Structure 1
């Protein structure tokens, strides 16, 4: 409301003849807006410009990303387009693998891992290790005379997906408002001055690679291309088009520059088009695409453009609201200082901001019809970023989508699901050429060209189980939506992954179990057979494909074949340190603090370890996590928040949240959150942001273990709070409040109907709410049986130490709304 009022006043002031009148109103507006900004919980704000990329503010509409520095005299908009990658369509299958496979398996079974490593490196890998995601370049705006300024302020409003920069020069207030439009598919910046005709700037391009610039039809055009890489020729070509509309200024061009002089309001439009068609094809008319988006956007008035953009975004962002409490004094500080002070303030609203910032990033980097968010989402300022900013599918790419369903962003899951469907096609050749197997496979890394052969080296990349992990997302989306038409569409990809393991698993000579070999426990060598994570992933893809087959009325004989293979898989095992073993052999080192905790996939994001039905496995998983320690890289911290939440230990999960909210950059190598709230590996990887968001949600609600568990891992410090629009499997959308750590009121919308089993630490009451009996009849909560092994030293197990729970059943109808209260 305040912002709308100020905008209206500003429009009136621009046309008013009295400059003193105009300045008076603007000072009032500045005061109100500044206080409005500082009082809002969903803003990142700063009192100085960005000095580095990890201080710039991210904008995105899934296709176009921008990092806004907010520098008064030299603004930089560092830009990305989701399909600007190095290389072009290619494959990286090594046909030598098939012949070498039996010998590699023999060496692994015999424990001759060094020889196996050498053989695999020579025969399974190629010189192609994935193509890099790359910057499109930057738009530079030079404002003469703005080096000396005052009253500086900049913000990212994640409630509107708009960045703002404001400052004074010689008594004139300058404001820049920028967004990457979800509706118009261009980036728009509006530059205004409180004094008539005071906007003057020059626009140019820069990029850390060759490019061409020309002026044509009042548009400044940059043409660039992706880079050739590892012997793969560059195939991506693109153009960036920039144009300006002014109300009263002049716009002129040289061959390399667009200049604006004497304007009061100038609106900049930036459009990018590439020749990308799909992962197999390039050749689109990139110039035509860029020109068409630019032309269409410039026909609309600014007020409508920003209103429509914000409305589109709000439909997704506003579904989920979170209140973990507030520290009013702490929240008045700039965001960087809030992060620095967090250890002292324990400001719960900063956790809320970081959690919601993760949702903002997912909305901004993953819309239906677009590419999946990569290792840096869509934000990358280099030609060769760390790890090429590819899709690392042994954890990182999957982690990007952990918050999608539970925080009510189901449609934002679609780009990842589409990527899995594409991998299921490209991976068929890999399965056949390298393993002589049916179905499809992928290893630990891929890129926009959907390569599925192994990447890097044996100790990291010899992992043919990537297809099994990404395929779990196909099933998870179904559990939340109940969409059988969708399930039928993705079933071939699930079946293809299951078929690979039906034909590629081999019998372990020591115990007769069917195992994946050669493989690794990511990303820890040496080469192994039957690692715990592999066994868990294969168990899931086989059982979930069997269940999908049943739901869709598929072939019962095939279903029986899948379930028969499940019986031959190695069970999870508990080792001499009372830990969940990471390998078949009991060789875990309790002093190993490796960032990967791959053997705990079965705890999270899997659902194979339950405190209620698998207490020994549950305790063993807990011991393994304790051994790994609480500190890690950013993404690993994100995983550990979720794992401790699944262990129902909210206070320990909160300890891990604290480890994330430490300032990264400068000399602080242990910091895990940059000033712009990007999380740090270091360097920046976006998966830490998404993992943290999912972890906070997992502390508040869980729905994997036969019931919808309310506040399963709420820490003592979040004693009072509320959430709305959080989603449980089975299609239940839940809103609730809590006081002193106990649920006080719950509102449930049942999208699919069926039995709702609620689990809580306090009693509940409502009409038709009955004490739960027997197994949950809701098929979305049905799980296959998992053995809970015995251990030699039972005295070492202290038990889960679980709180008493109350369980209730409520019969629901599709579309029904139900209100439940504390007893």
Structure 2
């Protein structure tokens, strides 16, 4: 017994003294080399408002800094009032097949003449220069997903130097801790650098200040003022000011408190005092020492992160640095990298999108440029929505709230756009928006003619209710949902052939049919029809739940019945356009006509087998290799097609180093060394999309039941996951499987009601009975999809589905239920 105790004490001591590289790395991104000058190799930290990229360079540490409201420009609108008069002629040209002429007129009369949206901008960099640290050994750096702390260690002349960096949500500062094993060893110079027209100064001997103002864009003056402050707290040694820099000499440890703030109040108001804000954040943080800040940071972060655990097994690959694992992933057996990537997506969402803040942009919260790709704006023809696909199902509903708030704000700004440009009620947003909540068409005719952003965004309002069942919440978002639907009641127009109600002008996002290459403008694109059907159905259900707007419900049902049905074309494909114009060789990154399969639930193997087969054909024709975010979307689509092996192949494609994928078009997609997704360049949506896709492989709840292990690939024979959420207020407390069969599942019911399970094998447990009648739970009532029109040349195959069993369980709110194989 004494020997066992001694061994235990020895093992604990060994863990404490082992270098970080020898300790557990299952939930760490780690590397044995610094990032150098490569931003996509640096490691991200963030608290929803502040962010930093940490390079980990020994001699010159760089922290590239962002603040969520530092955008170019100032409050503005970008509507084009010429649209209203031109609308009838543009529609006539489209219906007459004169697409080129319609496109030219739309470019002149609908495309914004004011601006194409503002840009999310970097604040600058904090640079720490360590003389003599260019010669180092035993290098190691990591991002620990369990603590949200970036750490760097190395040796110089026998002394081990350590750096820890985190962005504290409760403290509202970024914290840097420098330490060394030899007292008095820490000596460095700190300075700010910024591409803005900065004012850099020092205050006293221990505070560094950077002030600036955002840039102008397209005649919109830059008026966002920002200030960054860094306070240095040392133990031993001394801190002195020298010009516009701070020097630390001979310290034992140093803690840097980094505060940033802007004058932004909301999209209409920039009257805050950025200097006072930054100073107040700093002053509050300085009341706590490093350990207090660190403990509070970890507790606040783990409140969210620890809700979900995924185990797909671990192999020796985990012993390799993350960049090596990424390089080898396609050929190696490394299931733990999938779990790491899944959790990295959740880490990024927690870090980029906090309640009360801004939604995650095209690059989340991390951007090192003054003029980033696509302005790092909100691209709402998929990318912004994709950022939030994991929010509800991976148990991060709080992180969803910034997007919900943005939709509410767009429902205000978009009313003027609907009225001025289209003479319609309700509200509209096109394919892009920004900090100032613009809703006019931007970025050129190839993308701009898509008045569907409000419809897609509004889906998030409804989906959140399906998970939480909170009628007070539904009441709060109903005006925005209703307003989005009201716009299309006014905007839809009969097309001449069938008198179907269609959206015109519009497009299938960013794609053009071979019949008129380069001309995207159209009427009645399949995605538009699916979006309007989805919006009308969700608004009807919301109004019925809230016992309101009976007249509106009737109008919505009448208009919904006149929408075009989905169509299956001559190549057995789901048509992308109203006419059968698809090209089987089209490899475009957007697969917009598959919105009805995912994220919507209009296409089902059980309810609409013909559409299910046609969607599968379309996805095969479009191909696998594409941009990073597109491959992330396809993981979800193949999961919805119940093909786990094909979804798994898409994960392998996505977890390929950037530039290594090969295809006819869009072949550069993949993953950067720091696991950021590559469009390329970096777009964060692929990270979030793939995290959602992995979830969809293990759990689906959109099709009338909670489907457990619906798309499990052969390579994931055994594993477990805990904490996922399903619609109807159900949580999968724990789910385990062995040899591809469900072995145990524990479910908690928050709302009560019938729990219908679809499972791959027989289960046993109290209260479980075979399902026979329709599901009585109102959260599991998918809308009936109209029957498709099928081209006589189409050759359809009935879906070959794996056998499943359906069980019902009557649940009570707050109770937990366990079932075994």
> Fold match, TM over 0.5?
yes
Residues 489-519 of structure 1: per-residue CA shift (max 9 Å, x gap):
0000000000000011011011100000000
> Is 1:509 the equivalent of 2:503?
no
Aligned to 2:27: 42
Please state if 1:784 is matched with 2:786: no
> Residue 743 of structure 1 corresponds to which residue in structure 2?
742
Gap change, CA 1:275 and 1:737, over 3 Å in 2: same
- 1:640 counterpart residue number: 634
Cα distance change on mapping 1:238 and 1:793 into 2, 3 Å: same
How far apart in 2 are the matches of 1:443 and 1:110? Answer: 24
How far apart, in 1, do the equivalents of 2:470 and 2:801 lie?
35
Q: CA-to-partner distance for each residue in 1:534-562, whole Å, 9 max, x for gaps?
A: 00000011111010000001022221111
Matches of 1:289 and 1:73, distance apart in 2:
32
- Does the CA contact (< 8 Å) of 1:188 and 1:268 recur in 2? yes
Counterparts of 1:678 and 1:156 in 2: how far apart (Å)? 13
**Equivalent residue for 1:112?**
98
Structure 2 counterpart of 1:468, from 455, 462, 473: 455
1-structure distance, mates of 2:230, 2:257: 6
Q: CA deviation at 1:441?
A: 0.1
- The answer to whether the 8 A contact 1:615-1:788 is kept is no
Query: Could you tell me which residue of structure 2 aligns to residue 12 of structure 1?
Result: none
Give the corresponding residue for 2:393. 406
1:286 aligned to 274, 278, 281, which one? 274
1:66 equivalent among 32, 49, 52:
52
- Find the residue that maps to 1:472 and give its secondary structure: helix
1:80 aligns with 2:50: no
Of 461, 464, 482, the residue aligned with 1:477 is 464
Equivalent runs, 1:544-623 vs 2, <5 Å: 544-623=538-617
Does 1:320 find its partner at 2:308?
yes
Matched, 1:331 2:318: yes
The 5 A counterparts of 1:602-751 are 602-664=596-658, 670=668, 672-734=670-732, 735-751=734-750
Matched residue SS, 2:18: helix
Farther off after superposition, 295-304 or 634-643: 295-304
1:55 aligns with: 41
C-alpha distance in structure 2 between counterparts of 1:791 and 1:181, whole Å: 56
Q: Is the 8 A contact 2:196 2:214 kept in 1?
A: no
Please say if residues 616 and 790 of structure 1, whose CA atoms lie closer than 8 Å, have aligned partners that are also in contact. Answer: no
2:176 is the counterpart of 1:189: yes
Mean Cα displacement is larger for which, 122-131 or 598-607?
Answer: 122-131
Of 257, 264, 272, which aligns to 1:276? 264
Q: Does 1:527 align with 2:521?
A: yes
Whole-Å separation in 2 of the counterparts to 1:317 and 1:580: 39
Q: 1:287 is paired with a residue of what secondary structure?
A: helix
Counterpart check, 1:395 vs 2:382: yes
Distance 1:309 1:195 in 2: 27
The Cα of 1:789 is off from its aligned counterpart by 2.5
The separation in 2 between residues aligned to 1:533 and 1:42, in whole angstroms, is 38
Counterpart of 2:335 in structure 1 is 348
- Contact kept? 1:533, 1:598, Cα under 8 Å: yes
Determine the structure 2 residue equivalent to 1:809: 808
CA drift at 1:254: 2.6
Structure 1, residues 379-408: CA drift from partner, whole Å, max 9, x if none? 000000001000000000000000000000
Distance in 2 separating the partners of 1:414 and 1:381: 26
Distance 1:137 1:30, change over 3 A: farther
Q: Equivalents in 1 of 2:313, 2:98: separation in Å?
A: 56
By how many angstroms is 1:793 displaced?
Answer: 4.5
Q: 1:795 to 1:89 in 2, by over 3 A?
A: closer
Return the alpha-carbon distance in structure 2 between the equivalents of residues 805 and 244 of structure 1.
61
Distance 1:458 1:740 in 2: 52
| SS of match in other structure, 2:329 | helix
Q: What is the CA deviation profile of residues 663-711 of structure 1, one whole-angstrom value per residue up to 9, with x for unaligned ones?
A: 1269996351100000100000000000000000000000000000000
Backbone CA RMSD of aligned residues: 1.5
2:515 aligned residue = none
**Structure 1 unmatched runs, 5+:** 1-8, 10-24
Asked if 2 retains the 8 angstrom alpha-carbon contact of 1:375 and 1:397, the reply is yes
Query: Distance in 1 between the 2:530 and 2:679 partners?
Result: 26
Question: What is the CA-CA distance between 1:298 and the residue it aligns to?
Answer: 1.4
Q: Is the 8 A contact 2:668 2:678 kept in 1?
A: no
Cα separation, partners in 2 of 1:209 and 1:30, compared to 1, 3 Å: farther
Q: Which moved more, 1:89-98 or 1:218-227?
A: 218-227
Q: Structure 1 length normalisation: TM-score?
A: 0.95
Distance (Å, rounded) in 2 between the aligned partners of 1:258 and 1:561: 67
Q: Are 1:94 and 2:93 matched, yes or no?
A: no
TM superposition shift of 1:40: 2.4
The Cα of 1:792 is off from its aligned counterpart by: 4.7
Shift of 1:764: 1.3
Separation of aligned partners in 2, 1:665 and 1:155? 24
Aligned 8 A contact 2:566 2:789 in 1: no
Q: Deviations over 1:229-253 (max 9, x none)?
A: 1110001001100111011121111
Provide the C-alpha distance between the structure 1 equivalents of 2:598 and 2:479, rounded to a whole number of angstroms: 25
Match of residue 516 from structure 2: none
- CA distance in structure 1 between the aligned counterparts of 2:717 and 2:775, rounded to whole angstroms: 30
Q: State the 1:26 CA deviation.
A: 11
Q: Secondary structure at the match of 1:87?
A: coil
Deviations 1:237-281 (A, max 9, x none): 011001110111211113310111110100011000100000111
- Give the direction of change, closer, same or farther, for the CA distance of 1:465–1:266 in structure 2 (3 Å limit): same
Match of residue 796 from structure 1: 795
- The number of equivalent residue pairs is 796
- Report Cα offsets for 1:45-82 as digits up to 9, x if no partner: 00010020000000000000100000000000000000
Measured at CA, do residues 402 and 28 of structure 1 come closer, stay the same or move farther in structure 2, by a change above 3 Å? closer
**Does structure 1 conserve the Cα–Cα contact (< 8 Å) formed by 2:341 and 2:691?**
yes
The match for 2:116 is 129
Q: Quick one: distance in 1 between partners of 2:16 and 2:597?
A: 52
Query: How far apart, in 2, do the equivalents of 1:441 and 1:679 lie?
Result: 30
Q: For 2:330 and 2:580, how far apart are their aligned partners in 1?
A: 39
The answer to whether the aligner puts 1:159 opposite 2:146 as a matched pair is: yes
Aligned mate of 1:260, from 248, 252, 265: 248
Name the CA distance, whole Å, in 2 between partners of 1:642 and 1:28.
Answer: 40
Contact 2:648 2:713 in 1 (8 A): yes
Following superposition, the deviation at residue 29 of structure 1 comes to 4.5
The whole-number CA distance in structure 2 between the counterparts of 1:335 and 1:369 is 33
Unaligned runs of 5+ in 2: 1-8, 513-519
Q: Counterparts of 1:665 and 1:577 in 2: how far apart (Å)?
A: 32
More displaced 10-residue stretch of structure 1: 612-621 or 554-563: 554-563
CA contact under 8 A between 1:26 and 1:194: conserved in structure 2?
no
> Is residue 612–residue 641 contact of structure 2 (8 Å, CA) maintained in 1?
yes
Within 2, Cα distance between the matches of 1:476 and 1:811? 23
**1:27 offset after TM fit, Å?**
10
Q: Residues 647 and 667 from structure 1, CA distance in 2 versus in 1: closer, same or farther, beyond 3 angstroms?
A: closer
Query: What is the DSSP-based 3-state SS (H/G/I as helix, E as strand, rest coil) of the residue aligned with 1:764?
Result: coil
Separation in structure 2 between the aligned mates of residue 795 and residue 570 of structure 1, nearest angstrom:
19
CA distance in 2, matches of 1:28, 1:262: 30
Indicate which of 167, 185, 192 corresponds to 1:180.
Answer: 167
Give the distance between the partners of 2:286 and 2:311, measured in 1 at CA: 39
Does the 8 Å CA contact 1:72/1:167 hold for their aligned counterparts?
yes
